[in-house]
Amino acid sequence: MNKKITLAIVRDPKCSPEILSKLLDPDCSTKTMKKLLKKKENKRKIFPYISKDYEESVDNYVLHTVLFCAAQNPNCPSKTLQMVVERGKNNDIASVAVTNPKCPPETLKIAVERDKDSDIAWFAAKNPNCPPEVLVNVLRKEEDNKASQGAVSNTNCPPKALQTVVERGKDDEVSRYAARNPNCPPEALRMVIERGEDNIVSRYASENPNCPLKTLIMRLERGKSDYVSHVAAANRNCPPQARLQWLISTGQIKTPDLSKHDVQVIKDYNKPDEEWERFKRMVEDE
C-alpha cells in the first residue's frame, strides 16, 4: 500500500472506529495490520473514496506512523485509547493517545500520576479533559516536573492553583508556564512584576493579556530598558502614551526641540520639516 494513502486512511475522520481499534490492539501483528489495510471491504469502510489501483508497500516505519495517526484520530473509541495508555505505559503511541480529545478523564489521571516526569504525563496534564482536581493535586507537591508543567499549561487549570504557583517566587519552568496561562489572575501577575526582577517568569507575566493596565504602566515608569519592560511595552493593553514616554525616557527615541520648529512658517513656505514630521508619525503609530 502506498505510504501517503495509508496515512490518509487513518487520519481521515471517517475512518471506522472498528478499524482503528484493531490497528491499536497490542495483539495485532504487523502481518495482521497489512492484511487489515489491504482488504477490499475495509477500503470502503476506512476511506470510501480511495483509489482501487494501488500496490502494497507498507513497511514497519509506515505502520508505526499509522499507529500514531490512529491514536490521534478523533474517531478512535475511548476504550481503545484507555487500553493503549494503560498497556503502553510511557511509549510514544501512548503519549499520542493522551492528547486525543476522546481520551477518558480517568485514563488521563492514571497517565499523570503514573510517572510525573514523563512525556506522557506532560501531554495528559495538558489535555482539556484532564480533571481540574487532578491538576490541583499535582501542583500541591510543589515539584518542577513534566506533570506540573503540563498542569499549569492547561487552560482549565483553576486560577487559584496558578496564583499559588507564582506566589512561591520561583523562576522555574512551572512558574513560567503558570504566568503565561491566560487563566492566571491579574493580582498574581501584578505581584510578579512588582518584584522588579528581569527574569523569565516576569517576562511571561508582562506578556499575559490579563496583566493589569496600571502594572504595565508602573513597570515602564521605572525608566529601564530591560527585557521585561520591552515585553510590557509590546503588550496590546499597554497605553500608547505610556509606551511613547518610556521610549523617550530610555533614549530609544528623541523628542525634537519644538522651539526650533515653527509649524506655521513651515506651512506658509510649503517646506516640510522632516524631523517634526517623523516625530508626529511616531506618535501616531504608537
Task: Please choose, from the candidates 184, 223, 180, the residue with its C-alpha nearest in 3D space to the C-alpha of residue 200.
Answer: 180
Band (pLDDT 50/70/90 cuts) for residue 91 is: confident
Band (pLDDT 50/70/90 cuts) for residue 230 is: very high
Across the range 160-174, mean pLDDT stands at: 94
- Residue 219, pLDDT > 70, answer yes
Q: Which of 13-27, 75-89, 203-217, 240-254 has the highest mean pLDDT?
A: 203-217
235 or 41, greater pLDDT: 235
Q: Are 70 and 24 in contact (CB under 8 A)?
A: yes
254 or 135, greater pLDDT: 135
Long-range (24+ apart) CB contacts under 8 A made by 35-43 are 37/1, 37/6, 37/9, 37/66, 38/1, 42/16
Band (pLDDT 50/70/90 cuts) for residue 35 is: low
pLDDT at position 185 is: 96
CB atoms within 10 A of CB 6: 24
Per residue in 201-212, pLDDT (tens digit) is 999 999 999 999
Per residue in 99-137, pLDDT (tens digit) is 999 999 999 999 998 888 888 999 999 999 999 999 999
CB atoms within 10 A of CB 93: 19
- Residue 53, pLDDT > 70, answer no
C-alpha cell at 135: 491538576
Which residues, 6 or more positions from 251, have their beta carbon under 8 angstroms from its beta carbon?
225
Q: Are 248 and 255 in contact (CB under 8 A)?
A: yes
Band (pLDDT 50/70/90 cuts) for residue 188 is: very high
- E strand or H helix at 96, and its extent? helix 92-97
Across the range 77-88, mean pLDDT stands at: 86
pLDDT at position 198 is: 92
- Residue 61, pLDDT > 80, answer no
C-alpha cell at 271: 517646506
- E strand or H helix at 262, and its extent? none
Helix axes 173-180, 200-207, angle to 10 degrees: 10
pLDDT at position 274 is: 63
Amino acid at 194: E
